[in-house]
């Protein structure tokens, strides 16, 4: 791992070590992937203002996220099926995040369950919720998150219908799934360390929905149940219903429009995440960074604004902070590390981003996260 210098290096190791179907699940976007590419391209188009002969000896990356101290302005975003990237992946990722002093978000569609993770880590974590047709199941998930002492609920609001991801269909991650085709099975066998680690893991199915599907070990039954549960009737009243059940901190993830952001700020949520689901939903939508400053200008004084979409470096974090984000979620960047080296790979990803952010702050002449604003950007 000593020769790993950037997130792209982790991505390449991940690609070699994890079966193609699961690597592509993380690495690809929907349809023609215009929005997926725009997330990164638009970030890279933002240039910094280089400053010199400023005392930068007191650089400090610490900040507050939802009133809690964090060593970095970073959050590990919810990513489904993380346990298929590396055995017990959610547990390893949560441990790495907590060791680094930042929040971890467990996905509804995780392999390890809420209870699995809670039993394996020492501190509270965040839980991400999909509002499904079965509202009784949704209420139960919220109550389980409360029982596990999750410190925030991240409500994903941009998945009423599922955007088509061409590579998932080609790889057999469809409904019903075709994961056990000859080509996939041969690929699994060519990844022995991944296969052994996955077989040794606590689970190989969706832990949070066990008990709600008659045969949770039947991938076809699970996939069909999940596909039928995304609710096109989801609306703002449902956010109010969740707010009435959940007593803690609430975050709305998937805001990409000023009008929606203004409506979100009225719900009683403590934060919103400017996000297009990593380019995995509406292809052709604007990039997250394009919409960030407009949303911050509209609601930034009333709700904490977080950013998600395309971050692969500490410089990308700096760009988002400069345009008004209070903190950033990373998904693919840490999953590349997880798939490559397990928990140590997640730690490596965080170390890379932290070092890049620190160096960039220094070269832009700022010492603290609070000092970062539009003045660090070239006009």
* Residues across the chain: 379
Q: What is the dihedral of CA 264, 265, 270, 275, to 10 degrees?
A: 50
Chain center to CA of 306: 12
Coil vs helix vs strand at 214: coil
| CB-CB contact of 261 with 11 (8 Å) | no
Q: Are 207 and 112 in contact (CB under 8 A)?
A: yes
Contact present, 39 and 278 (Cβ < 8 Å): yes
Is 277 among the residues known to form the active site?
yes
Specify which residues 29 forms β-bridges with: none
Per the CB < 8 A criterion, the answer to whether 137 and 212 are in contact is yes
Strands 327-330 and 304-308: parallel
Alpha helices in 33-175 (DSSP H): 34-44, 89-100, 114-120, 135-147, 166-171
- 16's CB contacts (< 8 A; 6+ apart) are none
Write out the catalytic residue numbers: 277
């Amino acid at each position: 791992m000593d020769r790993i210098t950037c997130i792209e290096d982790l991505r390449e190791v991940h690609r070699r070590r994890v079966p193609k179907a699961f690597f592509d699940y993380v690495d690809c976007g929907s349809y023609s992937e215009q929005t997926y590419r725009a997330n990164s391209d638009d970030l890279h188009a933002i240039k910094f203002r280089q400053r010199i002969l400023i005392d930068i000896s007191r650089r400090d990356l610490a900040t507050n996220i939802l009133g809690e101290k964090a060593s970095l302005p970073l959050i590990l975003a919810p990513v489904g099926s993380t346990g298929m990237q590396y055995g017990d992946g959610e547990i390893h990722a949560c441990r790495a995040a907590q060791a680094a002093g930042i929040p971890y978000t467990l996905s509804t569609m995780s392999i390890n369950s809420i209870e699995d993770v809670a039993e394996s880590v020492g501190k509270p974590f965040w839980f991400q919720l999909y509002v499904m047709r079965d509202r009784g199941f949704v209420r139960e998930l919220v109550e389980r998150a409360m029982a596990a002492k999750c410190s925030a609920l991240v409500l994903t609001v941009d998945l009423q219908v599922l955007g088509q991801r061409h590579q998932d269909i080609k790889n057999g991650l469809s409904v019903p799934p075709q994961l056990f085709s000859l080509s996939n099975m041969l690929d699994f066998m060519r990844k022995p360390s991944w296969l052994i680690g996955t077989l040794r893991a606590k689970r190989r199915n969706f832990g949070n929905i066990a008990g709600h599907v008659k045969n949770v070990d039947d991938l076809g039954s699970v996939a069909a149940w999940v596909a039928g549960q995304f609710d096109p009737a989801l609306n703002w009243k449902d956010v109010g219903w969740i707010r009435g059940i959940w007593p803690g901190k609430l975050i709305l993830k998937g805001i990409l429009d000023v009008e929606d952001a203004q409506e979100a700020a009225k719900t009683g949520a403590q934060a919103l995440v400017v996000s297009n689901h990593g380019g995995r939903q509406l292809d052709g939508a604007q990039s997250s960074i394009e919409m960030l400053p407009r949303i911050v200008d509209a609601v930034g004084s009333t709700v904490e604004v977080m950013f998600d979409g395309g971050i692969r470096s500490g410089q990308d974090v700096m760009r988002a902070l400069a345009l008004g984000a209070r903190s950033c979620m990373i998904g693919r960047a840490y999953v590349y590390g997880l798939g490559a080296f397990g928990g140590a790979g997640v730690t490596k990803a965080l170390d890379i981003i932290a070092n890049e952010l620190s160096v960039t702050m220094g070269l832009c002449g700022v010492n603290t996260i609070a000092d970062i604003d539009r003045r660090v950007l070239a006009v």
